[in-house]
Copies of this chain bind each other. A is one copy, B any other.
Amino acid sequence: MKRDKISNAVIRRLPRYCRHLAALRREGVERISSSALGDKMGLTASQIRQDLSCFGEFGQQGYGYNVGTLYQEIREILHLNQQKEGILIGVGNLGRALLRNFRFADSGIHLAAAFDVAPECIGTEVNGVEVLDAAGLANYLDDHDISVAVLTLPARFAEETGRLLIEHGIRGIWNFTSVDFEAGEDHADVVVESLHFSDSLRVLSYLIGAF
């Protein structure tokens, strides 16, 4: 499996496969052809076959894909079955929304702790996750094996905090701030995945068009 060669577009479709296969499983569907799966996902049968061929041999001519098996295989490809430890930094409205409602476990993440600077917030628990003092973040990272950090703090603290996280061994940053930052050449293996809300809304604005 040559992961280096796999295009960004294919990688970004993998979670969609996962969602659609999970839905099919819930509906009790046991097998599906590439064209039927394509219809559901807005892709052609040949795109589906091409996407999946990047990762190995799935499905069988004339039979299609076994829904349960393909679902598990895509979960494996995404490493969702391997639990990773994560922390969340910034327990404001958005951080709190994620702590309360987002199913981190479904994406293979166990949230070990949250961090904030506000005295009234430190020491509290949100949905079973303890909020610790952000002043102790570096020490915490040195003492624990944390892979992923969720950044939900104000944009002005994003770069500095990102740098600290990277220096203390974080592997991936899930960035909700409006700041674009990179791990830098010394830490080229650190992944920064950003969810820029405004980019999404602006694409919507473009697609709606003028009126």
Report A's interface with B, CB cutoff 8 A.
3, 9, 11-12, 14-16, 18-20, 77-80, 82, 84, 92-94, 96-98, 100-104, 106-109, 147-148, 171-172, 174, 178, 180, 191, 193, 195-211
Are the C-beta atoms of A208 and B107 separated by less than 8 Å? Answer: no
A90 CB, min distance to chain B CBs, angstroms: 11
Q: Are B97 and A207 in contact (CB under 8 A)?
A: no
CB distance from A29 to the nearest CB of B (A): 16
A86 (CB) vs chain B CBs: closest residue:
B201
Most buried by B among A148, A172, A178, A211: A172
Determine chain A's interface SS by DSSP, over half rule.
Answer: helix
Question: In whole Å, how far is A176's beta carbon from the nearest beta carbon of chain B?
Answer: 9
Task: Indicate whether A171 sits within 8 Å of B78 (C-beta atoms), given known contacts A16-B199, A100-B93, A101-B92.
Answer: no
Q: Are A195 and B203 in contact (CB under 8 A)?
A: no
Chain B residues whose CB sits within 8 angstroms of the CB of A191 once the complex forms: 204, 207-208
